[in-house]
């Protein structure tokens, strides 16, 4: 039997493992898919730019500003979006986020001017804001503290996998220029935006709000998981503060600095890598996608290692 916090019923190691494996298989693939498409839809403008900038006569400055302005609205709406999520429920709000950003990603295929491009990117940021922290909140309702790191690492691996998928796919879609009267870059936005709408609809009917509602778990598994998570939440409640007080805490901003640096560098690479590869290596669209995808594969393979438990030595 496993040790458990006071007030939490005991399960054997095998029973606990079986319960959390079932939770993982039910929830994590869909959450992984949502984040993969979210990341893809925010950076596919980088591969689309190989054609779009020439067709629409966008300068590097116009493209860079439009690509980056997404993160202005995204950052401003993160906290409000998650306050709403806590009120209306993660299942419905995550579904809303995915459906709205998917539709806006598709709509980017209709931009013709810099202003339209900037507007589409701003609205995409508003729509997508809240997905990442919303999923972190959601995972906190399903995975105990000692299991959450592994679940989180699986979810986060979707970001580099977006490059693995998006590079070759985007390069292939650019080759569809002229089909049905659409340019290749328009096919990129259309084909890569639609799956987000589908996944959002699936989230609405497939995700379960809390362990007590999980009819796909046995009664004993539901009772144990609900009790375990409730105990952890009550134990942590004393340390909770309001969002405004948290934003006023210098430690929050200090911890945010390395995350900001990593995120900024990673996204700068994702947005500009296709252009740099094509101009440096003189590759075709398909070859450019394969090169960027291969680089992303290295990062994707390393992500799960971050969630492995650390064993003490000695």
CB atoms within 10 A of CB 201: 14
Of residues 279 and 20, more confidence is placed in 20
- By the 8 A CB rule, do 67 and 45 touch? yes
In the chain, what percentage of residues exceed pLDDT 70?
A: 85
Q: Picking from 79-93, 126-140, 248-262, which range would have the lowest pLDDT averaged per residue?
A: 248-262
Rg (CA), the chain: 21
- By the 8 A CB rule, do 200 and 95 touch? yes
Domains of the chain, start order:
20-231+249-304 (1.20.1250.20)
Which whole number is the average pLDDT over 128-156?
Answer: 90
Which whole number is the average pLDDT over 83-99?
Answer: 93
What does pTM read for this prediction? Answer: 0.81
- By the 8 A CB rule, do 75 and 130 touch? no
- By the 8 A CB rule, do 57 and 285 touch? no
What pLDDT score was predicted for residue 305?
A: 65
- By the 8 A CB rule, do 236 and 230 touch? no
Does the structure show a pLDDT above 50 at 212? Answer: yes
* Residue found by looking up tokens 């500003």 in the block: 65
User: What percent of the residues of the chain are helix, what percent strand, and what percent coil, each to the nearest 5?
Assistant: 80, 0, 20
Burial tier of 302 (Cβ tally within 10 Å: 0-12, 13-18, 19+): exposed
- By the 8 A CB rule, do 209 and 91 touch? yes
Which whole number is the average pLDDT over 277-282?
Answer: 79
Does the structure show a pLDDT above 90 at 52? Answer: yes
CA distances from 33 to 75, 214, 245, 282 (A): 22, 21, 33, 32
Which whole number is the average pLDDT over 93-100?
Answer: 95
- By the 8 A CB rule, do 117 and 62 touch? yes
Alpha carbon distance 260, 248 (integer Å): 17
| Nearest in space to 173 (alpha carbons), one of 184, 189, 162, 181 | 184
Alpha carbon distance 222, 209 (integer Å): 13
CB atoms within 10 A of CB 144: 18
- Structure tokens, 53: 């900038």
Residue 280: which pLDDT band, with cuts at 50, 70 and 90? confident
Average pLDDT taken over every residue of the chain:
85
CA angle 51, 75, 238 (to 5 degrees): 150
Residue 121: which pLDDT band, with cuts at 50, 70 and 90? very high
What pLDDT score was predicted for residue 163?
A: 80
Residue 312: which pLDDT band, with cuts at 50, 70 and 90? very low
What pLDDT score was predicted for residue 306?
A: 59
Q: Picking from 44-58, 92-106, 136-150, 257-271, which range would have the lowest pLDDT averaged per residue?
A: 257-271
Alpha carbon distance 6, 104 (integer Å): 48
Residues 6+ apart with CB under 8 A from 46: 67, 270, 271, 272, 273, 274, 275
Does the structure show a pLDDT above 90 at 55? Answer: yes
Residues 6+ apart with CB under 8 A from 56: 111, 112, 113, 117
Backbone angles phi, psi at 72, to 5 degrees: -65, -55
Q: Picking from 23-27, 42-46, 187-191, which range would have the lowest pLDDT averaged per residue?
A: 42-46
CA terminus-to-terminus distance, the chain: 24
Q: Picking from 41-55, 84-98, 204-218, 275-289, which range would have the lowest pLDDT averaged per residue?
A: 275-289
Which whole number is the average pLDDT over 9-35?
Answer: 87
- By the 8 A CB rule, do 233 and 146 touch? no
Residue 289: which pLDDT band, with cuts at 50, 70 and 90? confident
Does the structure show a pLDDT above 50 at 314? Answer: no
């Amino acid at each position: 039997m496993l040790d458990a916090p006071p007030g939490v019923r005991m399960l054997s190691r095998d029973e606990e493992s079986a319960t959390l494996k079932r939770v993982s298989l039910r929830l994590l693939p869909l959450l992984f898919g949502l984040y993969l498409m979210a990341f893809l839809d925010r950076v596919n403008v980088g591969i689309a730019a190989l054609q779009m900038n020439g067709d629409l006569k966008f300068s590097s400055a116009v493209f860079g500003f439009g690509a980056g302005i997404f993160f202005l609205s995204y950052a401003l709406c993160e906290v409000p979006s998650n306050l709403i999520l806590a009120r209306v429920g993660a299942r419905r709000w995550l579904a809303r986020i995915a459906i709205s950003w998917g539709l806006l990603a598709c709509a980017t295929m209709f931009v013709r001017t810099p202003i339209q491009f900037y507007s589409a990117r701003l609205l995409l940021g508003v729509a997508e804001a809240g997905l990442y922290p919303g999923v972190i909140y959601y995972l906190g309702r399903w995975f105990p503290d000692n299991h959450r790191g592994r679940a989180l690492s699986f979810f986060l691996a979707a970001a580099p996998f977006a490059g693995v998928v998006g590079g070759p796919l985007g390069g292939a879609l650019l080759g569809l220029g002229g089909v049905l009267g659409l340019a290749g870059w328009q096919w990129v936005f259309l084909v890569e935006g639609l799956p987000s709408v589908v996944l959002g609809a699936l989230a609405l009917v497939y995700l379960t709000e809390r362990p007590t509602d999980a009819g796909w778990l046995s009664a004993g598994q539901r009772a144990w998981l609900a009790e375990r998570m409730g105990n952890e939440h009550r134990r942590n409640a004393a340390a909770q503060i309001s969002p405004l007080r948290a934003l006023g805490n210098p430690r929050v901003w200090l911890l945010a600095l390395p995350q900001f640096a990593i995120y900024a560098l990673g996204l700068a690479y994702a947005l500009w890598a296709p252009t740099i590869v094509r101009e440096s290596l003189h590759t075709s669209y398909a070859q450019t996608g394969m090169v960027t995808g291969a680089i992303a594969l290295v990062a994707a393979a390393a992500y799960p290692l971050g969630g492995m438990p650390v064993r003490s030595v000695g």
